[in-house]
Homo-oligomer: A and B are copies of this chain.
């Protein structure tokens, strides 16, 4: 029943099966190493499309595939479902529950999670990082309309049909646009006691424009497009308090049943594990080879590493950056194994920024290219489907989008949940 791998080969342990970890594993597959890739989830998640699960456009299985299925057939790759709780660099071991896993090389690609200025906000303003987050937000949005339909109190109906998104980056813009489309189109004619089109959607951004990573003209386009969709875009404004009943902006209290947090992330605890220096968001300050200081056998890649480009700007927490870092770490390990020339310091190549706003509208910035509107939206769609892992998912996502585009329907409007979940109780 047991199959043995050659235990004499050096052991590369990769923690995290996001973009960085998966690319590193792929680049090392078939090299003379044993690889163990550990994740607390059994699936790799295509995070750029997670907002579509949260807004009933896609199913979880459309954007997630088992890590084991993606990479587990490689002869030298083991996949381990487990929670890493620490690293012991002195004895070169990773702690997974009550197990210790020895490594020769370690790649930490543990990603980032939501960051809230006040811890209490996390309970009332969910963020969007996992499948569970997405299905919980989907249920919250759909239940708000259901409860408004069942209510006869106009003040409560108004509160239920008010949706506030905090944070005007790509996730915030995408969520605001998608919620507006649900309210104005998908649900429009299915209620008797309320008119979903009267829903109020606010997008709150502390800076003076949305999408600050883009040129100002594209930020303005995004704000104009959202306003045309009926979204109330508030710039230079911020959340003073968030609680069960709603949100207080600078000087204005807005009763709202649904507040979604898209305003900031912090790195995973990798820096704590290593006792390494971290920046304000908890990212490990790595060397130019992406290794932890004083640990040349430990690489840190992706959202949990603080890496700077040639201009001294922080490399953004996006998929292409994580993939480039994962590849670079793997190539460095291979060079050291083979004794060949190392790839040298990591250099980030920016592949551009993309964000979608709604049906037929997106923005793209790549070097001098600045695109907006329908063409940008088509490119956004093709690019995202292209990078989806797994052929089945690509086909199904395209079919779902084609169907949704032509019917204005959102097919995944399920409210589900466990014992703690948002599901209503019992009649059948």
Mark A residues whose CB is within 8 Å of B.
1-3, 5, 15-18, 21, 38-43, 59-62, 64-66, 68-69, 72-73, 77-85, 99, 109-111, 131-132, 135-136, 142-143, 146-147, 149-150, 154, 157, 187, 189-195, 198, 268, 390, 392-393, 395-396, 399-400, 403, 409, 411-421, 423-428
Contacts and interface: CB of A to CB of B under 8 A. Distances in A.
A411 B392 contact: yes
A66 B1 contact: no
Contact of A414 (B15, B43, B73, B392): B43
Nearest to A187: B68
A425 B83 contact: yes
A413 B66 contact: yes
A397 to B, nearest CB: 11
Given A43-B415, A69-B413, A110-B428, A193 B15 contact: no
B414 A42 contact: yes
B190 A84 contact: no
A390 B414 CA distance: 14
Given A59-B61, A150-B80, A415-B41, A427 B110 contact: yes
A82 B415 CA distance: 13
A16 B428 contact: yes
A-B pairs, top 8 by smallest CB distance, nearest first, are: A72-B190, A83-B425, A84-B427, A418-B418, A16-B428, A111-B428, A81-B146, A59-B59
Contact of A424 (B83, B420, B426): B83
A422 to B, nearest CB: 10
Contacts of A21: 428
A418 B420 contact: yes
Contact of A423 (B132, B393, B399): B132
Nearest to A302: B428
A333 to B, nearest CB: 20
B416 A131 contact: yes
A329 to B, nearest CB: 16
* A69, A154, A268 interface centre (most CB from chain B within 10 Å): A69
Given A66-B413, A424-B40, A427-B40, A418 B132 contact: yes
A35 to B, nearest CB: 10
Given A399-B399, A409-B392, A414 B198 contact: no
A413 B61 CA distance: 8
Contacts of A2: 193-194
B396 A60 contact: no
B414 A61 contact: yes
Contacts of A411: 61, 65, 390, 392-393
A324 B1 CA distance: 52
Given A15-B428, A400-B396, A428-B109, A3 B195 contact: yes
Contacts of A268: 427-428
